[in-house]
Amino acid sequence: MREPGAMRIRAPWPSGVLAALLFIGLLCYLAPLKPGVIALQFAWQPLTFGGIIHLWSEADLARYRSHLPLDCVLLLAYARFGWLLGTHTRVFTPLAPATQRLARLCLPAAALFDAAENAFHAWLTAAPRFDAPAAYLMSAGCSALKWVLLLGFGALVLIALARAQD
Return the pLDDT at 4. 52
Average pLDDT, the chain: 94
Q: Is 67 in contact with 114 (CB distance < 8 Å)?
A: no
Return the pLDDT at 47. 95
The band of 151, judged by pLDDT with boundaries at 50, 70 and 90, is very high
**How far apart (Å, rounded) are the C-alpha atoms in residues 91 and 159?**
10
Buried b (16+ CB within 10 A) or exposed e, 142-160: bbebbbebbebbeebbeeb
pTM of the model: 0.92
Is 8's pLDDT higher than 80? no
